[in-house]
Amino acid sequence: MEYTQQIQYLKEQADLHKERPEAVPFLEQAINLADAHQDQKESFDLRIELIQAIHFYPKPELIFAYFPWLLARCDEDPEKFDSRTVLWYYKWVLEAMPDYLVLSKEQIMGAMDDFERRAREGNYNPKTIYEFRRILAMKLGDSETARIAQAEFEAAPDPTFLDRMLGIANCDACVLNNSVEYEVFLGNDEKAIRMAGPILKGQKTCHSVPHDTYPSLLLPMKRQKREFEAIGFLEKGYKLIKDRPADFIRQAECMRFTALSGDPREGISMFEKHLPNVFQTLQMMGVMKFYQASAVLFSALAQKGTTSLRLIIPGNAPFFREDNVYSCETLAAWFREQASGLASRFDVRNGNDYYTTHLESLYA
């Protein structure tokens, strides 16, 4: 079989497994084939497909293996390789970077500066630059830098119709969702919920919205004593993200909420479903939040009188038991300690105490 036919077959298989983890290995094989035959154009297109498919793969760090090659091709031959497309996905990579403890703050900000340089060279609307500076600052626990970025974001001109069609500006739904998350970050619950109105009414949607919005508003809704509505958000939100294996942060938010306001038994199903992937990834931000949510879940169960549970836990879990019976208090303590350890590491990396403080507030 000619290599092009093989690639076509692999692409078809990937397409048949669209939005499933099985798609990624097929695309990786196709990329290997294209690279082995030095077919840069095919490799470029396949890597773009792979980056989209990684959304549904349990090891999201894979994006870092494949993305830099795309940038290098655009730098080498801007006529042949579309830099706008690559800048679009640069945003996804940039947003993911703070989630990885293997990366230093300098590396993260280095990539942000690189992105900004490219965006300005391409004459793209600067609002996106400030939006991502704000997102990174939030994830690095730096509220002052986030505030400055927010001010610049507000002052920058809105993207025009052409900016949206031909530029790198996020869609309205994402921009609004990101602004909602900023307000949640600041602790402005009421404002966040109000701003999210168009999303919650279904007027603004995209591939990430309201998937991201519902989980991020669960705690704010609870704090605003709107638990009944939040239960509806939990149902809708979890349904949207439950089959996104790498969406640990949203899964954690849903799981935590079941412990605080919903049905902890639902939380147990979520815990069992997502834990295997948590042990496989390098995305420590997701791992930390999942661990913290697990601590809350098992604490809540213990407080409600459930001393032990039969659970399906992967064999490589440090606390794995052959009899599959686990003490809720022991699990709660283990997860709390692990989450706390990770929070400290993030704080050392970021140079502040945001995560240690933030995690403590989530136990309250």
Q: Which residues bind another protein (CB under 8 A)?
A: 10, 13, 15-20, 22, 25-26, 28-29, 31-33, 35-36, 59, 61-62, 64-69, 71-73, 75-76, 97, 102-104, 107, 110-111, 113-114, 282
- Smallest distance, another protein to C-beta of residue 210, A: 15
User: What is the C-alpha to C-alpha distance for residues 278 and 272, in angstroms, rounded to an integer?
Assistant: 11
- Smallest distance, another protein to C-beta of residue 19, A: 6
| Residue that has been written with the tokens 């119709």 in this structure | 161
Nearer to another protein, 171 or 282 (CB): 282
Nearer to another protein, 295 or 342 (CB): 342
- Smallest distance, another protein to C-beta of residue 180, A: 22
Nearer to another protein, 94 or 331 (CB): 94
Closest to 156 measured CA to CA, from 125, 113, 121, 195: 125
- Smallest distance, another protein to C-beta of residue 38, A: 8
Nearer to another protein, 71 or 209 (CB): 71
Closest to 71 measured CA to CA, from 53, 49, 89: 89
User: What is the C-alpha to C-alpha distance for residues 111 and 71, in angstroms, rounded to an integer?
Assistant: 12
Helices (H), the chain: 3-16, 23-36, 40-53, 62-76, 83-96, 105-121, 127-139, 143-155, 161-166, 172-186, 189-195, 197-200, 213-216, 218-223, 227-241, 248-260, 264-278, 284-303, 328-350, 354-363
- Smallest distance, another protein to C-beta of residue 35, A: 3
The residue type at 324: N
Nearer to another protein, 117 or 194 (CB): 117
